[in-house]
Amino acid sequence: MCGIHVTISTAKTCKASSVLETRLRNRGPDHLATITTRLDDTEAVELTFTSSVLGLRGDHTAQQPLVNDTTGSVLCWNGEAWKIYGRAITGNDGEQVQALLSTAGRRASSDECRSVVEVLRAIAGPFAFVYFDKTAKCLYYGRDRLGRRSLLVKPGDPFVLSSIADHDTHASVWSEVEADGIYVLCLHDASTTPLRLIPTKHDWAKDESLMLGIGCFNSSVPFESNFLTRQSRVVRDLRDHLTESLRWRLLQVPAPPGASVKDARIAILFSGGLDCTVLARLASDLLPNEQTIDLLNVAFENPRIAAQNKAVSRDDLYEQCPDRITGRKSFTELLQINVPFTDTSEHRSEVIELMYPHNTEMDLSISFALYFAARGQGLGQIGMGSQPEPYQTTARVLLSGLGADELFGGYVRHATAFGRQSYQGLIEELKLDVSRLGKRNLGRDDRVMANWKKEVRFPYLDEEFVKWAMALPVSEKCNFSDGQISGSKQVLRLLADDLGMPAVAQEPKRAIQFGTRTAKMESGKVKGTTFIKP
């Protein structure tokens, strides 16, 4: 995880504010630097690049911004390139991306950016980036096909790109960079005042039939329902593909600074539900026995619910949160993150600024849960039957189960679509969910959780995994033919059963804001779509 802040200005040097610099350091505590450059010696346009680094790849921390000493080109890289041109990346991925971009830039003329775009299209993994090809006077920026890393843009003079907005969010007009392609600014005429920069977009996919630039969605309508069993081929394939996705995200994670061999490198956002428990089970098979995994289970003191249960102690209120109950069903040893309402109130303005430009009550409810879960501070049990003790996770990599519902039909609206229009309605609803994976909440989640010096990874959103899941017939993903919501994520439930977790296989879908009780904390009448007040 890294922080990016880039400005293009005709007026003066525009560095990040002190508040924003602190937030960039939070995202990347291992290194922070700023450099400035101009288009050439006679140009009035100045470009300022700031990068912070959380070093999780290779045997050293690659200091950013990455600068080519020969050409002066600059790369700010926030991500994980697992593969480029289908070949696995070992060592530091940012340095290898820079080397490929520099080579591509030498092949491109001033008005032709195809070579650089092709390199970026060849990267598999979550990332956001800004790359300045100084020779060609072109600036490239964007997010990966699924939008798993945050990048915001604020047009004007200065023109600003940043992983996170500055603290004066309500006086600024920021928007999320769409995860639909690579954006290019031609800076040959950037010296005109006022500064007007209009990017050109290069779609991720040249083939319009590819969804998200990854693969084709199987829209075939089955003639009848497909009743799978634990022995079905697709269940074995799911296990293999998910294990491979986890392999990229779990293995080779360096030990946290100052940590012992037994300290956790990995933590899982853990509700005890289907998606995250399957991840925990498979992750435990992949990691060496001496490496522990922290399970982060968060519960909130909701004053509205507390008022309805005055005879119940605060500790019991935490234990009665739905996600705490299911978490204990799955695993006894949890990091219990109990959040008093006073803590929620104290951090409210910070969470609102971190999640910006998202700005609804639902955004805030979800962000509260992710923010405090990622902090990883609570009561931990060291062994079976031991008393909980104060504990702070050492893990700098978090795993999230996000994506399973969209790919395998986990929402109530999927069952509703099937009830209305059978398989055709279900297929259209699933296609809609997959198509907007990068537009809804991934940037927000990245901004909120990265504030705690953590990087969140999404095994269900690996490109190869998504491609495989999209190609599956809908009848192998979910089965609502009997009218039961238990048919959601049919193939994933069968995998949980096959892994020896029959109770987990039956767990219903529960939204995070209801499982942790962050929804409607002060009023039962507020709507999730209501805009929040600072």
pLDDT tens across the length of the chain (534 residues): 799 999 999 877 777 888 899 999 999 999 999 999 988 766 788 999 999 999 998 778 889 999 999 999 999 999 999 999 999 998 889 999 999 999 887 765 544 688 999 999 999 999 999 999 998 999 999 999 999 999 999 998 899 999 999 866 455 689 999 999 999 999 887 766 677 888 999 999 888 888 999 999 999 998 777 778 888 999 999 999 999 999 999 998 998 888 777 789 999 999 989 999 999 999 999 999 888 899 999 988 888 888 888 888 888 888 888 888 888 877 766 789 999 999 999 999 999 999 999 999 899 999 999 999 999 999 987 666 677 899 999 999 999 999 999 999 999 899 999 999 999 999 999 999 999 887 888 999 999 999 999 999 999 999 999 999 999 999 999 988 765 656 789 999 999 999 999 888 888 888 888 878 777 777 767 777 778 876
Residue ranges covered by each domain of the chain: 2-204, 233-516
Which amino acid appears at position 518 of this protein?
T
- Residue 2 annotated among the catalytic residues of the structure: yes
Task: State the Cα–Cα distance between residues 461 and 405, nearest whole angstrom.
Answer: 11
Which sign, positive or negative, has the C-alpha torsion 96, 52, 61, 447? negative
Which amino acid appears at position 369 of this protein?
A
What is the pTM assigned to this prediction? Answer: 0.93
Of the residues 2, 113, 138, 478, only one is catalytic, namely 2
Instruction: Please work out, in degrees rounded to the nearest 5, the angle formed at the alpha carbon of residue 436 by the alpha carbons of 353 and 174.
Output: 30
Q: Could you please state the CATH topology (level 3) that the domain comprising 233-516 is classified under.
A: Rossmann fold (3.40.50)
Instruction: Please work out, in degrees rounded to the nearest 5, the angle formed at the alpha carbon of residue 247 by the alpha carbons of 241 and 250.
Output: 140
**Bridge partners of 82?**
none
Which sign, positive or negative, has the C-alpha torsion 22, 439, 242, 497? positive
Instruction: Report the CATH number of the 2-204 domain.
Output: 3.60.20.10
Quote the tokens at residue 22.
């602190």
Torsion of CA 436, 5, 138, 175, to 10 degrees: 40
